[in-house]
């Protein structure tokens, strides 16, 4: 079991000094969604390169910045870019945005990602509220991180994802006239995209979208007692469901086309908190 409080003690001290106000909500921005940070009032921007022990992101579209921001009087903690397991990092490093949010006394965390659509009722540009996560890969790593779970930690996972927080997001979509889909996110470690055969398997196991992030972040945040909600931007249909070759460029281009809708949803969600 990794002691994150010890491992990142210097980093946390710096952030507690730089961001003394308790955030109302923390946001982790996924591939192609980082521009949201530029649409709110930024009060303080910290490059993760300047934080001891913070692993650098190697993926295009993940800038490696932490923002203290504000929108409609609500205090925001924004992670512009995330750390992926497939970049070669330990699971404890991938959890760092969640751990930081918890240490800064934030009670809510909103996790976003770009995902491939598996549900044939989805299309590129849809937003999907994640109702549950599934994976064949992540449980061992999560167990290594949290060790022997306390009773309180296990009880926290009974409201995962947070029903109250999800209700706020559904209400936000209704008020903005956004057709918010719902579904199960299937986590795949990556970095390779899934094969058509794997997508058929995931579909039969009830997966509606597939991606390479978010599941471990959401599980760890819930274990820590945070309210967790997650939304996927469907940027493409998964392998075997379209004739187009999958690429990261396609993901970021599709995200750019849908960023206005995403921004409206998130801003309305913040105003309703």
Query: What are the pLDDT digits (tens) for 185-206?
Result: 999 887 888 888 988 999 999 9
What per-residue confidence (pLDDT) applies to 247? 58
Question: What pLDDT is attached to residue 74?
Answer: 97
CA 195 to CA 199: how far, in whole Å? 6
Confidence at residue 238, expressed as pLDDT on a 0 to 100 scale: 65
For all residues of the chain together, what is the average pLDDT?
87
Of 92-96, 109-113, 203-207, 237-241, the least confident: 237-241
Rounded mean pLDDT of 228-232?
A: 96
Is the pLDDT assigned to residue 146 strictly greater than 80? no
How many other C-beta atoms lie within 10 A of the C-beta of residue 126? 22
> 22-146+155-272 maps to which CATH number?
3.40.50.1580
With cut-offs at 50, 70 and 90, classify the pLDDT of residue 244: low
Whether residue 138 is predicted with pLDDT greater than 70 in this model: the reply is no
pLDDT per position as a tens digit, 9-62: 999 999 999 999 999 999 999 877 888 999 999 999 999 999 999 998 776 655
Pairing of strands 127-134, 65-71: unpaired
233, β-bridge pairs: 114, 127
Mean pLDDT over 59-88 rounds to 87
8 A C-beta contact, residue 209 and residue 122:
yes
How far apart (Å, rounded) are the C-alpha atoms in residues 212 and 190?
6
Q: pLDDT category, 263, cuts 50, 70, 90?
A: very high
pTM: 0.90
Structure tokens at 21: 């106000």
* 3-class SS string, 125-189: CCEEEEEEEECCCCHHHHHHHHCCCCHHHHHHHHHCCCHHHHHHHHHHHHHHCCCEEEEEEEECC
Mean pLDDT, residues 209-223:
91
78-87, 108-117, 242-251: least confidently modelled range: 242-251
pLDDT of res. 24? 97
What is the model's pLDDT at position 150? 66
Q: Looking at residue 255, what is its pLDDT?
A: 67
pLDDT tens-digit readout, 147-189? 656 677 777 777 778 999 999 999 999 999 999 999 999 998 8
CA dihedral 147, 97, 56, 184 (to 10 degrees): 80
Percent of the chain with pLDDT over 70: 86
Confirm if 67 and 18 have CB atoms less than 8 A apart.
no
Cα-flanking dihedrals φ and ψ of residue 156, to 5°? Answer: -60, -30
Each domain of the chain, given as residue ranges in start order, spans: 22-146+155-272
The larger pLDDT score, comparing residue 255 to residue 117, is at 117
Q: Residue 75: in which H helix or E strand, if any? A: strand 74-80
The β-bridge partners of 214 are: none
* Predicted pLDDT at 240: 45
| For the chain, percent of residues with pLDDT exceeding 90 | 56
């Amino acid at each position: 079991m990794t002691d994150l409080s010890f491992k990142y003690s210097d980093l946390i001290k710096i952030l507690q000094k730089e961001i003394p106000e308790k955030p109302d909500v923390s946001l982790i921005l996924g591939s192609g969604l980082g521009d949201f940070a530029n649409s709110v009032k930024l009060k303080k921007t910290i490059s993760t390169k300047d934080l001891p022990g913070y692993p650098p992101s190697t993926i295009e579209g993940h800038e490696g910045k932490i923002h203290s921001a504000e929108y409609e009087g609500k205090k925001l903690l924004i992670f512009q870019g995330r750390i992926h397991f497939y970049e070669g990092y330990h699971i404890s490093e991938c959890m760092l945005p969640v751990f930081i949010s918890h240490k800064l006394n934030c009670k809510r965390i909103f996790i976003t990602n770009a995902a491939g659509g598996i549900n044939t009722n989805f299309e590129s540009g849809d937003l999907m509220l994640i109702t549950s996560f599934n994976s064949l890969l992540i449980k061992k790593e999560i167990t290594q991180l949290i060790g022997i779970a306390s009773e309180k930690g296990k009880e926290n996972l009974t409201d995962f994802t947070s029903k109250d927080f999800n209700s706020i997001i559904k209400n936000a979509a209704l008020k903005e006239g956004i057709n918010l889909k719902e579904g199960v996110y299937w986590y795949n470690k990556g970095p390779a995209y899934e094969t058509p055969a794997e997508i058929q398997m995931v579909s039969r196991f009830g997966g509606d979208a597939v991606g390479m992030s978010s599941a471990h972040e959401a599980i760890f945040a819930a274990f820590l007692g945070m309210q967790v909600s997650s939304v996927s931007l469907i940027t493409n249909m998964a392998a075997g469901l379209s004739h187009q070759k999958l690429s990261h460029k396609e993901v970021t281009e599709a995200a750019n086309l849908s960023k206005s809708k995403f921004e409206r949803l998130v801003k309305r969600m913040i105003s309703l908190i």
